[in-house]
Structure 1
Amino acid sequence: MPLHLLHNTTATEYPRRYGDIRDNSEWLRVLIRSYADELPAGAVFSHVSAALIHGLDPPYPATDSAEVVRPGFHRAKKTLRTRDRSLNSEELTHVGDLPVTTVGRTLVDLATDYPLEVSVPFISEALRRGLASHESLHSSIRSGTRGCRRAAQAFDLASPAHESSGEALCAVKFFRFNIIGMIPQVNTYDGAGAWIARNDFRHDKHPLIVEFHGVGKYYLNNAGPDRASSENHERHMKLLNAGYRVFNLVWADLFRAREFTKIRAAIAEFG
């Protein structure tokens, strides 16, 4: 379980240190662990804290506070946020010794209270890992309550086909920029029917492809970053020669408008 201290027989450093935005989540895990024995009666971990406890990875630092729900109490401290929420027994569970909302309730809370950029990657990961289904999530929405429309939108945008947080964020940005028709994880072939690649996103009508390049694609490749970069360039050229317009996005592109404005304009040019 992600928040338990590691077994004495392992030599793994805790918390892990990455030197990037993942360190925020590691320290949030430590903070959650520090509150484990101090929760008041009726309080259970929720939202991002619950997602971390269930082993889901945040797309980027969404909060630096531990989060709980507790009926009849609402308070926001620097390191602990308490929301006044009522829960039924089916929405509660334990992971190890930690009281926590179930995966389903956690995803509903995230979809209701956080922007799409936070909730959709969490939901997509849960769908991909088989921890939830679109049907169960949509049926959990409480119609007429605050945030119910945003939750429904988050569930619609999330997909098990998103293989990373970056791809899930791409889907959100397509929605934000009114880019319609981008299908995730599509096999692409040339004019002779030869397979070229499985692309992160391809337009359903026009020869336009969007690829997201996370750092892991290069540095977690068994053959090393040089080999991965060379293979990516070769694939890119094959796609261009087959008549596709290709947009290659990196993490920073997900947080600025320029590339998505270009994608929208390119689709418009096809008519």
Structure 2
Amino acid sequence: MHLYLATDKLYRLGFTKDEIRRAERCCLSRIARGRYVATSVCDDPRHYAIWSALSEDDVNALALRGNMRDDVDRLRLLIRARAEKINAASGRNRVTKGREVFSHLSAALIHGLDPSYPATSRVEVLRPNVSRKYRYLHVRNREVPVDQKAVIGMYSATTLERTLIDVARDYDLDLAVPLIDEAIRDGRTSKSRLGDQLLLCPEIRGAGAARQAIDLSDSRREAPSESIAAVRFFEHGIGGFEPQVEFIDESGRMLARVDFCNVDAKVIVEVDGIEKYFVDDDVRGNIAKEKARESALEARGYRVIRLTYGQLFQSQPFAHILNTVAARLRQR
């Protein structure tokens, strides 16, 4: 999280224009015209007014995570800044209200979806007869039917289905499929509803890519990393893997549930990272459990291949999986 501040708020806190400029070299970052974000708690007593109204819990929430989620949080702030600007301008009749709608990843964030990675740093909107990129804004020239628009709080955005379709049109499968999986898994939409809405979109361009993303979606996957792995299977021509396969022991209890399993080749693919071992701070215990679980699966004749998140964006691990599957099928 970041602390978001508009210029008028800083003025009310007693800051002058010069003081705001000085604060930009310290603890403030300008994200748009008249919009700032406080990026740290500084030691300058002149900036105390920024933090004095915050509780201790609020201050703790401002810490940056040091990973790609910081980029997503920053994009959320840019979306909010754009919404405030459009709403204020609409009240002065300078912008026709409803002509511009948030779309693509901006709309996905407004709908509460979680992108697998930050593919853009720009706010994305649709507006008829305008197509242009700015530093913080990407405007696409598209007409949106009334029934594909939604009002969510202060935001005018494309509906959930239209949002997912637009992402699938203009972004790679490894971004679109995880979002579709998440929405279907949460019961917020379905493949059939997405297919129906795709037919109602005025644009033809990108319809094939959107259809491909819908076809590849599967709500059984439990995390974006698993959805990306499934996309890589498709891209590398790797077939036969089913998600979330359960193994039962002789007493009828569940021995393991694995991310992907090719039963014919007896190959299991698990997608994880070292962070999974820190869930309850018992690192050694969790690693020991994973090794015991893996040994039990190997005793049943399965080959277990583990992928980290970083390996999902490399070709070699999937070439290895493809070769392993082919070799084991030949041995049967």
What TM-score, normalized by structure 2, do the two folds share? Answer: 0.75
Counterpart among 226, 234, 256 of residue 314 in structure 2: 256
Any conservation in 1 of the 2:183–2:189 contact (CA below 8 Å)?
yes
Which stretch of the first structure deviates more once superposed, 15-24 or 192-201?
192-201
Q: Which residue is equivalent to 2:178?
A: 121
Q: Which residue is equivalent to 2:290?
A: 232
Q: Per-residue displacement from partner, 1:155-182 (whole Å, max 9, x unpaired)?
A: 1112111111100000000011000111
Query: How far off is 1:15 after superposition?
Result: 5.8
Q: Which residue is equivalent to 1:197?
A: 256
Matched residue SS, 1:38:
helix
Q: CA RMSD in A?
A: 2.5
Q: Which residue is equivalent to 1:19?
A: 66
Q: Tell me if 1:154 matches 2:201.
A: no
Q: Higher helix share goes to which structure?
A: 2
Counterpart among 27, 42, 48 of residue 105 in structure 2: 48
**Aligned positions of 1:203-214 closer than 5 A:** 203-214=262-273
Number of residue pairs aligned between Structure 1 and Structure 2: 269
Q: CA 1:16–1:27 in structure 2 vs 1: closer, same or farther (change >3 Å)?
A: farther
Any conservation in 1 of the 2:268–2:302 contact (CA below 8 Å)?
yes
| Counterpart-to-counterpart distance in 1, 2:145 and 2:59 | 38
Greater RCO, 1 or 2 (C-alpha within 8 Å, sep 6+): 1
Q: Per-residue displacement from partner, 1:191-225 (whole Å, max 9, x unpaired)?
A: 88763200000014221100011455223x23533
Which stretch of the first structure deviates more once superposed, 143-152 or 200-209?
143-152
| Counterpart-to-counterpart distance in 2, 1:14 and 1:20 | 15
Q: Which residue is equivalent to 2:80?
A: 33
How high is the sequence identity, in percent, across the aligned residues? Answer: 36
Matched residue SS, 2:65:
coil
Any conservation in 2 of the 1:191–1:242 contact (CA below 8 Å)?
no
Q: Per-residue displacement from partner, 1:72-98 (whole Å, max 9, x unpaired)?
A: 211111210011111122111122111
Structure 2 gaps, min length 5: 5-53, 87-94
| Counterpart-to-counterpart distance in 2, 1:250 and 1:57 | 19
Any conservation in 2 of the 1:210–1:248 contact (CA below 8 Å)?
yes
| Counterpart-to-counterpart distance in 2, 1:260 and 1:233 | 22
Q: Per-residue displacement from partner, 1:103-125 (whole Å, max 9, x unpaired)?
A: 11100111111110111111111
Query: How far off is 1:62 after superposition?
Result: 0.6
Find the structure with the greater CA-based Rg. Answer: 2
Structure 1 gaps, min length 5: none
What TM-score, normalized by structure 1, do the two folds share? Answer: 0.91
Query: How far off is 1:12 after superposition?
Result: 6.3
Matched residue SS, 1:37:
helix
Q: Tell me if 1:222 matches 2:297.
A: no
Amino acid at match of 2:280: N
Q: Tell me if 1:242 matches 2:300.
A: yes
Q: Which residue is equivalent to 2:118?
A: 61
Any conservation in 2 of the 1:4–1:33 contact (CA below 8 Å)?
no
| Counterpart-to-counterpart distance in 2, 1:99 and 1:20 | 29
Q: CA 1:16–1:73 in structure 2 vs 1: closer, same or farther (change >3 Å)?
A: farther
Matched residue SS, 1:181:
coil
Query: How far off is 1:188 after superposition?
Result: 2.0
Q: Tell me if 1:178 matches 2:237.
A: yes
Q: Which residue is equivalent to 1:137?
A: 194
